[in-house]
Amino acid sequence: MSSIKGPGGKKTGTVNSSKVRVEKSAAVDRSPRVAEDRLNVSASAQQIDELFQQLADLEDVNAARVKSVRESIKKGNFPIDYQRLADKILELSDELNSENDD
């Protein structure tokens, strides 16, 4: 059997033909190191984000206007601009046809 000597001549372990024993003299930190991810957003970008949030919270349909138009139609006094209606129908038709051609 022979002994293993470390720095300063201290005995740190013993070697036997059938067994090896090593004494740990210092603890090793084996915890993984994780890098921090950071994102810096400018004040302008933060304002834009806030505006988008406000837009998302808005209603898509003006419920009061819809109610008013429905009441007018029921009463028979809703003015209809037939020329404008026809123009909008033709615009929609042209848009649909151009989408199908692509």
Q: What whole-number distance in Å separates Cα of residue 54 and Cα of residue 64?
A: 20
| Chain centre to alpha carbon of residue 92 | 35
| pTM greater than 0.85 (yes/no) | no
pLDDT (0 to 100) of residue 4: 55
Containing structural domain, residue 98: 62-102
Question: What is the identity of the amino acid at 90?
Answer: L
Alpha-carbon span 5 to 15, nearest angstrom: 11
- Give pLDDT, residue 59: 78
Task: Calculate mean pLDDT across residues 34-55.
Answer: 86
The answer to whether position 93 is within a domain reads yes
Count of the separate structural domains present in the chain = 1
pLDDT in tens, 20-40: 565 665 566 677 777 788 878
Residue 68 lies in a domain: yes
Q: Is the pLDDT of residue 52 over 80?
A: yes
- How many angstroms separate the CA atoms of 4 and 7, rounded? 10
pLDDT tens string 67-80: 999 999 999 999 98
